[in-house]
Structure 1
Amino acid sequence: MRLGMITLDTLDPTPVATWWAGVLGGSLSDAGGTGEFVVLSGAIPGINLGFAKVPDPTPGKSLMHLDLDLEAGEDREALFASVLAAGATHQAHHEYPGIQWDVFEDPFGTVFCIGDAHD
């Protein structure tokens, strides 16, 4: 068994998926052609991101979020600037000995983190 997809609930999957495709790359497909479930593939090797239309997303902080790791040699400030320019908002910065990460929110309210690579 392997993780094949991480699915995010949203009121309108297409614009959310399009935003993430703009940030991460990859390609979008509309499963079923109804706009109710959009899949982003090729952005994260071996894992698809799904965006599911729901009538009422769970209020408050989601119990699941994306942790995006910086790659070796990647410029933290340049990456943050590009994510912010794409419409994300910065929520917080955290540091513990040996690791740091920043919390962001996409334009649709989805929380995600960008941090040092996990070993």
Structure 2
Amino acid sequence: MTDIPVARLAMITLDATDPEPLAQFWSAVLGWPITVLTEQYAMLSGPSHALGIGAIPDHQAPSWPDDGRKQFHFDLAVEDLEAAAARCVELGAKRVEPQPGETWVVLRDPAGHPFCLTDAAAWG
């Protein structure tokens, strides 16, 4: 086995029925500019990675609680959980119920993808 990586993560891509509202949402949440926007695709450029959003006409959001079908989710570090959650809701996210704990807040983005807000202090 070698320590040389096979690849580097360049972008994560989310599916959505309409890329623009999801691109606007994630741009506001992450502070990343939208660098590509068409009817079929959007891309946000971050400091070291990109976030893509592809149009899938019959997109179905993952379930929550996940029942083993959710493939992955974002954990986002924030300074104030409740203030960040309130801002995300203002931007179009929905808070899920039940919440699984007190050290994070689970929300769904406008296309229904679950994501977690976590206390930045826990990440060092």
- Whether the TM-score (by the shorter chain) exceeds 0.5 is yes
Q: Is 2:96 aligned against 1:86?
A: no
Answer yes or no: is the 8 Å Cα contact 1:16–1:108 preserved in 2.
Answer: yes
Partner in structure 1 of residue 42 of structure 2: 38
Partner in structure 1 of residue 73 of structure 2: 65
Distance in 2 separating the partners of 1:12 and 1:27: 18
Identity of matched residues, %:
39
Partner in structure 2 of residue 103 of structure 1: 106
Partner in structure 2 of residue 19 of structure 1: 25
Which 5+ residue runs of structure 2 have no aligned equivalent?
1-6, 64-69
> Residue 23 of structure 1: SS of its match in structure 2?
helix
Distance in 2 separating the partners of 1:87 and 1:36: 21
Distance in 2 separating the partners of 1:89 and 1:115: 16
Distance in 2 separating the partners of 1:60 and 1:79: 22
CA-CA distance at 1:2 after TM superposition: 1.7
TM-score, normalising length: structure 1: 0.76
Distance in 1 separating the partners of 2:103 and 2:114: 17
Cα-Cα RMSD:
2.2
Q: Is 2:60 aligned against 1:55?
A: no
Give the structure with higher Rg (CA). 2
Equivalent pairs, count? 109
Distance in 2 separating the partners of 1:59 and 1:113: 16
